[in-house]
Chains A and B, each alone.
Chain A
Amino acid sequence: MYRDRLRDHLVLIVGVIVMMGPILVAITTSSYDRVYIHNHGMQIGWGGNFLETYRNVLFYKGGFSGEVTGALMAMNSAILGIGFAVGKIVVSMLAAYAIVYFRFPLGTFFFWVIFSTLLLPLEVRILPSYEVVQQMGLLNSYTGLILPLIASATGTFYFRQFFRSVPDELVEAARIDGAGPFRFFIDILVPLSKTMMAAIFIIMFVVGWNQYLWPILITTDEHYFTLVRGIKQVLQVYIGADIPEYNEALAMAILAMLPPGLVIVVFQRMFIKGLVETEK
């Protein structure tokens, strides 16, 4: 059935150039110094400044307070990505477990409340959400950064779907063996959900790591900046300077895309499975 045709390969090669070209140019350009880039434009070759630029961005770059390095921002990004993914998995697994495996009067009501969160993405209610977080004194904190993002119910739906596909016989067997709801959850449901948890972790990690709008509102203290948030700061430098630090801006962009990129490439199969099955 499959025949390799030249035309398909040509389409794919053009596609690869279009998709990866900008990233490769960003990498190569970041290896030149800013004056050279300013005079000669973006580069495809290899300049000698690569290590120095990345070392600057990672360890020496000061920000306003002079204390913030790229490494700190990377750590904040990791906290946001992992915190968001773990938080979402824990919260939504518990909620989905309650909805699927328990008979209780308000079950349907709760289901619809959770469902309603899918209707309004954070972007359309940013101002009031900001005010709530401000009133709670959570500006410039990891809690304020992560918790409001967990409010959307995508994870709950996903686990609900999965739990409903678990055969009834397992619950019955567990009950006959005298296992209560807690035992059943820990000993049977969690082990069964392992692959699904991993898949959703990968997707949520990327989503959390890449958050932008919420961090630019919530964090004004540079100690809480993530790499993606820091991109906006880089831009400010870009506007002000005579010769902007193109190389460092691009280095930051590369650093910001590297971890999520590696995660989806390394765990490719799980990532695709998670993406295709959760969103459908």
Chain B
Amino acid sequence: MQSSRFDSPLTPYFLLLPQMAIIAVFFLWPAAEAIWSSFFLEDPFFGTRTFVGFENYVEALSSADYRRAAWFTAIFTLIVALGSLALGMWLAVAADNVLRGRSAYKTILMWVYAIAPPVAGLIGVMLFDQHIGPLVDFVGLFGHEMKVGVNWWDTAIAMMIVATWKQIPYNFIFVLSGLQSIPNSVREAAAIDCRSSVRRFWTVIFPLLAPTTFFLLVINITYALFETFGIIDLMVKGEPGNNPKTLVYKVFLDGFRGNDLGGSSAQSVILMILVLVLTIAQFRLLERRIHYK
């Protein structure tokens, strides 16, 4: 904590004014509105509201469509979070080992970070296109005709591949910087004790990376839940039909296409609770890490 501070009675309020104004108007108000309207049934034509208590929640949670989306979101999140972590880590370990060309590899592997999810989605749509997609041809070699956008599983897998691909650079950057902060003396000691580099990784390096790994898992889960919106929107070409969709995408669809304000708000609130849990988990990890440092 800063011990020496300024004592002017009004200045801090002026300094905080812009931030607080933006938060109040664009954050607190909408968040309160979401919670409030999740307890009402709204008629989009007459603008009337009826208080329905938890009915929107019950309806959302018990609808088959919501459960399907929740189930897909769970699998999607698990695979994207673990997949991008594993692949990013694998590449980072390799990049950390080599001397020649390291910075070139690093630069190239970072590039995809800069790509917006919908742009990644568009390239994905093309690569998995029935007519022109080379990946469809490739899978065809193994005797399976991929029908992305028609077949549920094919679409789901294509989405997971694109979403994982987009998140690899983030994991790569963090693991690599984590690896480079491990002192050389530790590596040398480990190298003397253990000849096998694979075992050395799992017994020495991986435990040292544990804080980074946990941090990345939380970030990856948040990414898979929320930031993949653009990928999904593009890959279902804006027309989800029976295609797999995540919970966030469903909030968007029900709110803006279905005009189901109460239902969409109830789903928002459920997601808010999910984010709350994730954030608490993240902060507890952070605390523990500071504790051990």
Contact = CB atoms under 8 A, between A and B. Distances in A.
- Say what secondary structure dominates the interface of chain B: helix
B229 A235 contact: no
A231 interface: yes
Interface in B80-112: 87, 90-91, 94-95, 97-101, 105-112
A102 interface: yes
Contact of A132 (B6, B26, B99): B26
Nearest to A185: B15
Interface stretch (A47-55, A68-76, A88-96): A88-96
B271 A124 contact: yes
Interface centre among A100, A131, A168, A253 (most CB of B within 10 A): A253
A136 B126 CA distance: 39
Contact of B95 (A12, A156, A211, A265): A12
Contacts of A206: 113-114
A224 B133 CA distance: 32
Contacts of B108: 16, 19-20
B223 to A, nearest CB: 11
Contacts of B101: 9, 12
A42 B1 contact: no
B15 A94 contact: yes
B174 A19 contact: no
Nearest to B19: A95
Nearest to B11: A181
Contacts of A26: 123, 126
Contacts of A216: 233
B132 interface: yes
Interface in B101-154: 101, 105-119, 122-127, 131-134, 137
Contacts of A180: 6, 8
B33 A19 contact: no
B169 to A, nearest CB: 7
B119 A256 contact: yes
Interface string A31-47: 00000011011100000
A95 B30 contact: no
A151 B26 contact: yes
A131 B110 contact: no
A85 interface: no
A27 B142 CA distance: 27
Given A103-B5, A151-B27, A228-B119, A16 B105 contact: yes
B276 A119 contact: yes
B275 to A, nearest CB: 6
B159 interface: no
A132 to B, nearest CB: 5
Contact of B132 (A22, A41, A128): A41
B229 A41 contact: no
A201 interface: no
Nearest to A92: B19
A8 B11 contact: no
Contacts of A275: 173-174
A31 B26 CA distance: 43
A257 B122 CA distance: 12
B131 A41 contact: yes
Contacts of B264: 127
Given A132-B26, A151-B23, A100 B132 contact: no
Contact of B97 (A2, A19, A29): A2
Given A9-B98, A228-B116, 4 more contacts: A41-B134, A147-B22, A213-B229, A265-B110
28 contacts: A8-B95, A12-B94, A12-B105, A16-B108, A16-B109, A20-B112, A90-B18, A94-B15, A95-B18, A101-B5, A113-B28, A123-B251, A124-B34, A127-B255, A128-B30, A128-B33, A128-B34, A128-B37, A130-B256, A163-B2, A168-B3, A171-B5, A175-B4, A211-B116, A217-B256, A246-B132, A256-B116, A268-B106
Interface of B: 1-9, 11-13, 15-16, 18-20, 22-23, 25-31, 33-34, 37, 87, 90-91, 94-95, 97-101, 105-119, 122-127, 131-134, 137, 165, 168-169, 173-174, 177, 184, 187-188, 191, 215, 219, 222, 226-227, 229-230, 233-234, 237-239, 248, 251-252, 255-256, 261, 264-265, 268, 271-272, 275-276, 279
